[in-house]
Amino acid sequence: MTEPRLIVFDCDGTLVDSLFAIQHAMEQAFGALALDVPPAEAVRGIVGLSVPQAVAALAPGHTPETLAALDRAFRDASLAYRQSNPQSNGQLYPGTRAALERLNTPQTLMAVATGKARRGLEHVLDVFEMRAFFTATQTADDAPSKPHPGMLQNCERLTGIASDRTAMIGDTTFDILMARAHGCTAIGVSWGYHPVEALREAGAHVVIDDFSELDGALESLR
């Protein structure tokens, strides 16, 4: 019998395109504190980090008090956006659900590791009816921010599947660096928020252009 394997997915930029909502909340947070709003490309570059690390990267040189206020303002703006725009939850990337259904076998466990807060991830899983696919979920509330390997270490602890039978699927260099730090397979996706070349430079074993390529990538890297 084939040994069980674990496939861990990032959320934003990998399963769900939620960039508009993230950029909107960040604009609201900086505006609330009368700070210069960072350009869209800068916000795109920090997606995947936990909120404290993200605001610190976007507002270098500010005091810890200001960064803490930005953190709170971003979380408040994210919640307000979800409540006032219940139909604006982003959208699944093409092939996402089909890939999850295809990989959902007794020998394959799946998990999520995201820089989102627990509340944000739970909302996404419910809206897109994906909760049943995942054996484990890790958020910014459960482990240090990517690229620290803590989320993947927790996934291993929760599932019992070691790094040599684990693959991390993500769209940012933070995902790839986390995977390499954990010693597992790192698969990048080209449809997310970081450039393909950056994913390769970070150490991606392979970069796929469509979810239909994921099964082959997993088999070739076994």
- The 10s digit of each residue's pLDDT in 192-216 is 999 999 999 999 999 999 999 999 9
Q: DSSP labels for 65-79? A: HHHHHHHHHHHHHHH
Q: Which of 188, 122, 114, 117 is nearest to 155 (CA)?
A: 114
- Architecture of the 5-17+90-220 domain: 3-Layer(aba) Sandwich (3.40)
The whole-number pLDDT of residue 121 equals 94
pLDDT over 90 at 73, yes or no = yes
Domain boundaries, the chain: 5-17+90-220, 19-84
pTM to 2 decimal places? 0.93
- The 10s digit of each residue's pLDDT in 26-70 is 999 999 999 999 999 999 999 999 999 999 999 999 999 999 999
The whole-number pLDDT of residue 171 equals 98
Rounded percentage of the chain residues whose pLDDT exceeds 90: 89
Any idea which fold 19-84 has?
DNA polymerase; domain 1 (1.10.150)
Place of tokens 């909760």: 131
